[in-house]
Structure 1
Amino acid sequence: MTAVVDSAKRHTLQALLSLPSGIVRRLAGRPVEIEGNILDPEMQLVLTLRKIEGAAIEERPIPGGRRALVDAAKAVGGDLPIGAVTDLDIDGPGGPLRLRFYTPRNLAAVSPALFFIHGGGFIYGDLESHDAMCRFLAERAGVRVVAVNYRLAPESPFPAAVDDVEAAYSFVTANATGLGIDPDRIAVGGDSAGGNLAAVLAQRATRAQVGAPPVFQLLIYPAVDFAVKRPSRTTFATGFFLNKRFTDLTEASYPPAGVDLTDPLLSPIYGDLTGLPPTYVVTAGFDPLRDEGDDYAEKLRQAGVAVQHVREPGLIHSFANMVGVGRSGPEAMGRAAAALRRAVSTP
């Protein structure tokens, strides 16, 4: 029955967001404008529909919230075509660690790869919640995508996620050729909490502390600072999917009591950014994490890193999951995939 309901949600969303833009605008309601940015009508309509679905993810017991996140992601992600998807369990610091390999259609025997880390506030998210995003990036960028199912808080707080990600990345880089991956063309990336972990990983790998240096970073509305709350945290505290209650839960669950919140393994904005690979940072105009992502892009630039920073002005946090419905999410993620493709197209 659940599968039937999920399918119905997906088809309803697809039907609504496939309507002419003028009709979507009318269905979404009066335009929302903040700081000169107008909320994309597709995002506005998704937020309206979300309100009638019941309790938000962060308002449920964590196990139920995790299931709800997967259901919501499947509703907006769709069932995108892919050449092949295979899982592999490796030995991790806390036990078996699952990796998922996405191979796009018509790919060479040896290809570039994106090592991808999912978001979810370090509490939610898994291989299923970000399956559509990984499929989209693999096919659009023409790369293998390797996703990792790291341990989550509060059961496994910081630095468990960092340890798992590093173990998985080390395995992939050490076994790249046997996995059909060009060892000289491996990028790292992630969204939200995954963007945090990708940024940490890139810093560590660049310093030869783990694996091999990546050739590119793809950071999608990354959470990079636990120590300082910037204005966008207040401006978009409620009403735009990611809210204060969610971020408060993250801050109470992931960092242990007494930990230094400026530790670069926790808040990568305080790390050594020199020598990092070219980076694509995308932030959303209606996102509590917007300002810290913007600041991270600027700090990378000041450190001499080649940065392409794109702010998608009308979008919300989680637009990267919306690759199976509407136009706005797929178009924004298409730009990110194109940047990834260009970055790894030549050794």
Structure 2
Amino acid sequence: MIKWQRADGPPVPMRALTVEQARERYLSNAALPRRQDGGPRAAVTAVDRTIDTADGSAFRCRVYTPGTDEGRVVTYLHGGGWALGDIDSHDQACRIVAASLGAVVVSADYRRAPEFPYPTPLLDAIAAARWTSRSFPGREHVLAGDSAGAHLAVGVALDARDTGDLGFAAQLLLYPPVDPRLLFAAASPYAEGYLLTVDDMAYHYDLYVPDARRRFDPAVDLLNADLRNLPPAVVATAEFDPLHDEGVELADKLAVAGVPVRHVPGPGLVHGYFLMQDIVPAAATCGERVLRELDAVLRSPRGASRAASGRYAEAVRGD
């Protein structure tokens, strides 16, 4: 996986690129040739829509409809350090989610840093979840995201719990960044040399939350937030990822807070593997397990009754 990423030479540090250059590089990596097959993903259709915001702006979303519908809907928040990535970079990932879960997927093209720093991306994510709920009522609603999108997903769940506006059946959190102090990442044996570096994360936090005082906000400093009464969570981590340990810590803190948790480790994998499923067999295997675990949560009595009850009593850890 690392050899594939370095085929054109050593990676250029994020700080050495302009934001636009970094966005182009991210999209070009995500748009590499994909596996062609006639499976369920081929039956997924997509259409772009527009979501209005409270400040009078608007942003795109892409709505995916699966060939087989299980009565679910997913609000998906893309990764990319709150500054990179978009609905195009995550198109195939969302098709996989839609086909695997039999769910309508709403992929939010939230406004990104540095043009729109915190809290704008989070407010857009909240707006996207509310739009999804209004547009697809009566479905089991899942919050999902990878990397920075997983961070935003927890922020949406916290807002929904505190406002009582929405109920969610589950959260899917793929290798989430949750420690803006970067204490876990800096101490990781994989802080350098495994695609994502600690300095890359520091740079992205600088773009997303330029006012360092706001990094103590509960919606940013998630490890120190009140995590009680959040939806059941599937937390996925990657072995060779500087964010691995903080992802495990998040799973532990959710469990202690009484939230049912399934932790899916990613042995031999690096940060971002969910976007690599068509070119890295181990990534596809782990991605499939992650979605099976989420399906199991949704089929469990506790997961099915989440939106109605709003409370959990037991934590479950995956092997």
Q: Please say whether Structure 1 and Structure 2 have the same fold, judged by a TM-score greater than 0.5.
A: yes
What's the offset of the Cα at 1:76? Answer: 6.3
What's the offset of the Cα at 1:58? Answer: 5.1
Residue 268 of structure 1: aligned partner: 222
Contact 1:77 1:322 (C-alpha < 8 Å) held by counterparts:
no
Matched, 1:98 2:98: no
Residue 214 to residue 73, structure 1, CA distance change in 2 (3 Å):
same
Contact 2:73 2:136 (C-alpha < 8 Å) held by counterparts:
no
Aligned pairs (5 A) from 1:33-182: 43-49=1-7, 51=9, 55=12, 59-75=16-32, 81-93=42-54, 95-107=57-69, 111-177=71-137, 182=138
Residue 26 of structure 1: aligned partner: none
Contact 1:98 1:149 (C-alpha < 8 Å) held by counterparts:
yes
Residue 51 to residue 217, structure 1, CA distance change in 2 (3 Å):
same
Residue 271 of structure 2: aligned partner: 317
Matched, 1:193 2:151: no
Give the Cα–Cα distance (whole angstroms) in 1 for the partners of residues 7 and 282 of structure 2: 17
Matched, 1:298 2:259: no
Contact 1:277 1:305 (C-alpha < 8 Å) held by counterparts:
yes
Deviations 1:220-267 (A, max 9, x none): 000112134115655222211111331121121111324232211112
CA RMSD for the aligned pairs? 2.0
TM-score for the superposition, normalised by structure 2: 0.86
Count matched residues. Answer: 296
Matched, 1:242 2:196: yes
Letter in 2 for 1:88: R
Q: Which structure carries more strand by proportion?
A: 1
Give the Cα–Cα distance (whole angstroms) in 1 for the partners of residues 33 and 276 of structure 2: 5
Out of 235, 239, 255, the residue aligned to residue 281 of structure 1 is 235
Contact 1:57 1:69 (C-alpha < 8 Å) held by counterparts:
no
What's the offset of the Cα at 1:57? Answer: 5.5
Residue 295 of structure 2: aligned partner: 341
Give the Cα–Cα distance (whole angstroms) in 2 for the partners of residues 307 and 291 of structure 1: 16
Residue 228 to residue 241, structure 1, CA distance change in 2 (3 Å):
closer
What's the offset of the Cα at 1:119? Answer: 0.6
Give the Cα–Cα distance (whole angstroms) in 1 for the partners of residues 5 and 266 of structure 2: 17
Give the Cα–Cα distance (whole angstroms) in 2 for the partners of residues 260 and 106 of structure 1: 43
SS in 2 for 1:187: strand
Deviations 1:74-115 (A, max 9, x none): 11655652421011012124511211111111326xx20111
Which consecutive aligned stretches of 4+ in structure 1 deviate over 6 angstroms post-superposition?
none
Long gaps (5+) in structure 2: 305-319
Which deviates more, 111-120 or 221-230?
Answer: 221-230
Letter in 2 for 1:296: L
SS in 2 for 1:259: helix
SS in 1 for 2:264: strand
What's the offset of the Cα at 1:192? Answer: 0.6
Contact 1:225 1:262 (C-alpha < 8 Å) held by counterparts:
no
Letter in 1 for 2:21: G
What's the offset of the Cα at 1:296? Answer: 0.4
What's the offset of the Cα at 1:65? Answer: 1.2
Contact 1:76 1:321 (C-alpha < 8 Å) held by counterparts:
no
TM-score for the superposition, normalised by structure 1: 0.80
Identity %: 30
Give the Cα–Cα distance (whole angstroms) in 2 for the partners of residues 331 and 325 of structure 1: 11
Residue 142 to residue 298, structure 1, CA distance change in 2 (3 Å):
same
Give the Cα–Cα distance (whole angstroms) in 1 for the partners of residues 14 and 43 of structure 2: 29
What's the offset of the Cα at 1:50? Answer: 5.2
Residue 93 to residue 241, structure 1, CA distance change in 2 (3 Å):
farther
What's the offset of the Cα at 1:215? Answer: 0.9
